[in-house]
């Protein structure tokens, strides 16, 4: 492992730990208040779980030479769309009237992987199509194409690893989806987002709820590693110093 990879792993471990500890803290606070918020949903309605990753993205962008004043991750996150007025992203880089980068950071924890998988995929695809169409129509002052990044963390558990049956009522599904677990489906999804050029780069990691508190995570696919994502992001934003 290179020195860069070791450093990067430490940063990711901090973000993973923050994610799980924040979820745990939010659930405990709601229990003390006697709030019943639809089971595991109670751990996500408080927000802030992904802040560790957003802060890491910001750090990478600053290290690439972009000033902090051009990075937006708490407010002013709206971008115009083509099919809707605006879309709020998780992190933006805007400099000299140019959109340099737009990033999404998402996650999913069980047990309802089925419905949530469909929602996540439709959301990510729709968001990208909306932005690229708005870009074509001159919404971002023309110029260079922005970097679109998609980061996803999935809970590593029995339900996400288990093979899932597909329904082929009229036609055969693509073979890669046959008996594919939700973990494999997300891997395929992230890869296809890049292959179809909906996003510039994507990163996919998995972590279980117990070991994740200490920062443990895995990367199911080398081509979707965080290192690759980080290098691609840094190279793009570095051209706008």
pLDDT digits (tens, 9 = 90+) for 147-191: 999 999 999 999 999 999 999 999 999 999 999 999 999 999 999
Does the pLDDT value for residue 30 go beyond 80?
A: no
Place 2 in a pLDDT band, splitting at 50, 70 and 90: very low
Q: Which has the minimum average pLDDT: 11-15, 27-31, 201-205, 213-217?
A: 27-31
Rounded to a whole number of angstroms, the CA Rg of the chain reads 18
CA distances from 171 to 166, 167, 174, 179, 191 (A): 11, 9, 10, 16, 24
- What pLDDT is attached to residue 27? 78
What 155-162 contacts at long range (C-beta under 8 Å, 24+ apart), as own/partner pairs, is 155/107, 155/108, 155/109, 155/110, 155/206, 155/207, 155/208, 155/209, 156/183, 156/206, 156/207, 156/208, 156/218, 157/110, 157/208, 157/209, 159/110, 159/111, 159/113, 160/110, 160/113, 160/206
Q: Quick one: average pLDDT of 187-197? A: 98
- What pLDDT is attached to residue 46? 44
Per-residue pLDDT of 93-113, as tens digits, reads 999 999 999 999 999 998 889
- What pLDDT is attached to residue 49? 93
Place 44 in a pLDDT band, splitting at 50, 70 and 90: very low
């Amino acid at each position: 492992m290179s020195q860069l990879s070791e450093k990067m792993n430490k940063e990711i471990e901090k973000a993973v730990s923050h994610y799980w500890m924040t979820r745990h803290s939010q659930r405990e606070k709601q229990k003390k208040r006697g709030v019943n918020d639809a089971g595991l949903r109670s751990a996500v309605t408080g927000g802030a779980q992904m802040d560790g990753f957003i802060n890491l993205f910001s750090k990478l962008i600053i290290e690439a030479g972009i000033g902090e004043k051009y990075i937006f991750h708490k407010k002013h996150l709206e971008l115009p769309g083509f099919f809707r007025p605006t879309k709020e992203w998780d992190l933006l880089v805007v400099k000299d009237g140019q959109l340099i980068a737009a990033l999404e950071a998402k996650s999913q924890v069980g047990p309802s992987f089925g419905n949530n998988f469909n929602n996540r995929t439709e959301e990510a695809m729709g968001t990208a199509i909306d932005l690229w169409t708005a870009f074509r129509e001159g919404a971002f002052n023309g110029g260079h194409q922005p970097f679109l990044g998609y980061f996803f963390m999935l809970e590593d558990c029995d339900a996400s690893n288990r093979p899932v049956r597909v329904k082929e009522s009229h036609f055969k599904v693509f073979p890669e989806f046959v008996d594919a677990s939700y973990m494999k489906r997300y891997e395929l999804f992230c890869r296809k987002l890049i292959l179809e050029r909906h996003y510039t780069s994507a990163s996919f990691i998995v972590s279980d709820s117990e070991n994740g508190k200490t920062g443990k995570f895995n990367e199911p696919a080398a081509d979707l590693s965080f290192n690759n994502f980080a290098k691609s992001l840094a190279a793009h934003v570095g051209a706008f110093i």
